[in-house]
Structure 1
Amino acid sequence: MTANIQPVILCGGGGTRLWPRSRRAKPKPFLPLLGERTLFQQAIDRVADPALFTAPIVVAGEVHVPLVREQGGKALSIIAEPTGRNTAPAIALAAHRAPEGSVLLICPSDHHIADEAAFRSAAEAAAGLAQQGYLVSFGIEAISPHTGYGYLRRGEELPGGYALEAFVEKPDLETAETFLADGRYSWNGGIFAFGRERFLEELATHRPEMARLCAEAVAGGEGDGQVFRPAEAPFAQIDGDSVDYAVMENTAKAAMVPVSMGWSDIGNWDALREARGGESTGEHELRDCTNVMVDSDGPRVSVVGMEDVIVVVDGDDILVTNARGAQGVGKLEGVSRP
């Protein structure tokens, strides 16, 4: 069993497509959307086995540090980003702060994973490949021709996984259907594993300016025990990019571990409805309805004779959408309000 896996939990993004429940001051990761524990707390719970994982490093924006402390406890090591620069710089900060020789396991803080045993098995397999010098993506089992996810195409078999033959951008429906029928394609869920030193080497090769500025930000940073704050000036100069574009699509040693673990990125209200099995919350009454979900924090909601509708009540804000409209919620004017 690999015991030096260093979880890195990323708390970026505003979860705007889950407005009005998700707000700038308290976005999606810090909400109990599935069960009593928040998505962030569930992410911590998944890497709590000390036989396999070390204590997590959490990378979050300065404004959300109090929430991380409140929900995560004192065992966490927190890096407070002075400004958001996407996932590649965030991971670089964590790599500089991680122990030498560790395998970094990059975990978004706002995903749902139903089968935690499958997650841990995949983490072990990915760590094994990472120790051989591979940069590893989790290949989430594609159970539908989803057009909202990027895809991974697997190549030759490796011990515990496969060579990653290609990253594929979000497809149209017809293309996604061919991917599903092909059988070699998985969803790209944004979960990665790689050796600390190997990642920093690859970043320096493919994004040298980003690598230099991240190193400067860490070298000039300050900590108060639990929270480390990188130097703001060099970090603000970084031209942000995702780890997919900055490193994973450029490395010659990309690999993937296929996994079926009941995964969802809870990317919008339709995805949350699916993860909940259509179950409503709060005071509600549904009559002659099909595929209708209510999520209310107070007022009683009654729906009669409707199909494929989601109703959300949060304080004075009310959202009504269907599955097709759920992806566009983040573009509403109300989302910009606190």
Structure 2
Amino acid sequence: MIIPVILSGGSGTRLWPMSRAERPKQLLSLTGAETMLQLTARRTMNRPGFASPIIVANTAHADEIARQLGDIGIDDATIVLEPAARNTAPAIALAALAADRDAQLLVMPSDHVIDKVDSFMAAIASAAPLCAQGWFATFGISPDAPETGYGYIRRGEELAPGVNKVERFVEKPDIETARSYVASGDYSWNGGIFLFTAGAYLDALGHLEPAMLAAATEGMEKARREGGRIYPDAKAFGTSPSESVDYAVMEKVDRVAVVPVDMGWSDLGSWDALHAIAPRDTKNNAQQGEVIAIDTTGCLLRTDGPLVAAVGIKDLIVIATGDAVLILPRGSSQDVKRAVEALKRDGHITLDRFTAAKAILGS
């Protein structure tokens, strides 16, 4: 059986002001009626060969995650609740320790879009036989532009139909380098989705990051369990180094395969990314909530609170909640981090909680 491991510990600050620490983007409905977490869980739900998921998440989100999974009919998930954020490598270690060593783990972020699920399933089926033999697999996204915000994977020799050995992982490039990668046809984006057995991952971690494995192991051995929820020991897990799975494991092990796949993927890493995949009107506007747009083109206009009236504007992002409004040019949405940094310096409530929004809206 393949166990979906859904990583749901992120804070999602790049989609502020709708995404906040109390309710990050994976718990929001951004692309449809269901939340990003629900859409992620649905990809493998009730499919032959897939077990119930393991969710690794922030303790503060435990009740909301259980509620959202229950709303789509998943009531047997294992929810591992991190006592402290230590990046993806330790989080996956917790999941691996909660599974049988021979089980294959399909590691997925909880906040990515995959429109072509059948293509994704076919890619998993291509990688699974190699992973059963101890290989690590990643799923390479077919690049459609010279994107500088993603890492890249250079594909090497073919190992099986549709599966290549990873020649090397490449850091986020500058624009000219990214153009050369796309033109060569030898590179894929690194989408951060992986497949490997729990045993292979733990063995690799023991060799490459023994302190991390020791902290996760002790944390799980001393964990408190309540039904399907696991609370690793905070003191033990807190000693773990903080590192991504890419740096800790994937870029250092020998047997790594990549399955290039066109699966309609987006990491929804910015408001620009949401505009790119959202339904748009004849004037290239994407709208949600109570919005009036007059002589307005190329804008993303979203509100979950007050009416937004846009008149005579072009290529802007306007995001309104009950207690905050974000306005910036399209193409510059990564600059949200500048607003977030200022909020952190000021200790402002809108970075974390919705209390002010509820008060203003009178709810």
TM range (shorter): over 0.9
CA deviation map 1:44-64 (0-9, x unaligned): 000113412100000001111
- Alignment partner of 1:309 out of 309, 316, 332: 316
SS at structure 2 position matched to 1:280? strand
In 2: Cα distance, 1:337 partner to 1:193 partner: 33
Query: 2:356: which partner in 1?
Result: none
Report whether the alignment pairs 1:196 with 2:198. Answer: yes
How much has 1:337 moved relative to structure 2? 4.1
Contact persistence 2:306–2:321 (CA under 8 A): no
Contact persistence 1:298–1:313 (CA under 8 A): yes
1:1-338 equivalence runs, <5 A: 4-73=1-70, 74-159=75-160, 160-278=162-280, 279-332=286-339, 333-334=342-343, 336-338=351-353
Contact persistence 1:285–1:301 (CA under 8 A): yes
CA deviation map 1:67-104 (0-9, x unaligned): 11110122211001000100000000000111231100
Kindly report structure 1 stretches of 4+ aligned residues shifted beyond 6 Å: none
What is the aligned residue count?
Answer: 335
SS at structure 2 position matched to 1:162? strand
Residue identity matched to 1:105: L
Structure 2 length normalisation: TM-score? 0.90
After alignment, is 174-183 or 66-75 more displaced? 66-75
In 1: Cα distance, 2:178 partner to 2:296 partner: 30
After alignment, is 53-62 or 225-234 more displaced? 225-234
Query: 2:360: which partner in 1?
Result: none
SS at structure 2 position matched to 1:23? coil
In 2: Cα distance, 1:259 partner to 1:178 partner: 20
After alignment, is 175-184 or 66-75 more displaced? 66-75
How much has 1:200 moved relative to structure 2? 0.7
In 2: Cα distance, 1:126 partner to 1:78 partner: 26
Where do 5+ consecutive residues of structure 2 fail to align?
281-285, 344-349, 354-363
SS at structure 2 position matched to 1:298? coil
Query: 2:358: which partner in 1?
Result: none
Query: 2:346: which partner in 1?
Result: none
How much has 1:216 moved relative to structure 2? 1.1
SS at structure 2 position matched to 1:36? coil
Contact persistence 1:122–1:138 (CA under 8 A): yes
Contact persistence 1:18–1:330 (CA under 8 A): no
In 2: Cα distance, 1:239 partner to 1:131 partner: 28
How much has 1:233 moved relative to structure 2? 1.0
Structure 1 length normalisation: TM-score? 0.96
